[in-house]
Amino acid sequence: MSGVRGTTGLLIQRKLRAGGLGSTPHWADSNWASSWPSSLSSPETNPPPPSSLLYVHWPFCARRCSYCNFNKYVVPKEQEDRALHDRMTECLVREARTLLALAGARAVRSVFFGGGTPSRMPPGSVRRVLEAAEEFGGLSGGAEVTLEANPAEVVGGGARLLRRFRDAGVNRLSLGVQSFQDSKLRMLNRDHDSSAAVKSLSLSSEVFPGRFSADLIFGLPGQTLAEWREELRTLMDGFSPRHVSAYQVRIGVFLQ
């Protein structure tokens, strides 16, 4: 997911147009980034939206990927203890309730857990945030609940971890594959290799059949058009996800 990922952890968007659930995730709506503050204005001038979208940010990562400029905090797994999880979960639940109340939300039709690395969230934390959304009449009628997942966590936890997220209320995965080439994954400082990328897609299709997507990055230094076509071919011929997010890498100089 590109765009704004701030420190507050949550974004709410008004429903701007009618329509049911489709194969394209709701957060891909081009209007969302510019429209969400209007849902916090006075009910007298801006009636409560019929439904809202909720973005939840889990900011912890095991390492810093070279391309990522989202809000994140690198915390080694051995330091990511129960107390840290509990504090972050309490913050997210409080913000979900506060912002949904301010928005006058009557239903939540889509929740997206992004990061950071939300696949490092305890499934119980996911459940608590979804329970907070349910207090506002949401998550009914086929609401979409997406979790961004890192292939390393998916392979490490296996199908059992994915089933725990599913039981907590997740019904769609967004896999941060980024590349199927080991040299490119090392360039991006990812903590998985090409075999883990393939394995994570296999596990996702097993536990979330027809309900998973994948991210790929193109425009990497030295990448050829033929290599990019091969990336797409590997993904589409092998797994046929209903949605693919393709991101062009941005090379910049950052002053310190």
Whether residue 240 is contained in a domain is answered as yes
Whether residue 224 is contained in a domain is answered as yes
CATH number, domain with residue 172 = 3.80.30
Element (H, E) at 92: helix 82-103
- The pLDDT score that the predictor gives to residue 145 is 95
Beta strand 144-149 with 172-178 is parallel
Of 18, 47, 63, 39, which is closest to residue 188 (Cα–Cα)?
Answer: 63
Whether residue 66 is contained in a domain is answered as yes
Q: What is the pLDDT of residues 185-224, one digit of tens each?
A: 999 999 999 999 999 999 999 999 999 999 999 999 999 9
Whether residue 1 is contained in a domain is answered as no
Q: Exposure of 204 by Cβ count < 10 A (0-12 exposed, 13-18 middle, 19+ buried)? A: buried
Instruction: State the pTM of this model.
Output: 0.78
Whether residue 160 is contained in a domain is answered as yes
173 torsion bin: left (phi>0), alpha (psi -120 to 50), beta (else): beta
As a three-state string, the secondary structure of 204-220 is HHHHCCCCEEEEEEECC
> Does position 22 have pLDDT exceeding 60, yes or no?
no
User: How many distinct structural domains can be found in the chain?
Assistant: 1
Whether residue 35 is contained in a domain is answered as yes
* Structural domain range at position 67: 10-248
Whether residue 32 is contained in a domain is answered as yes
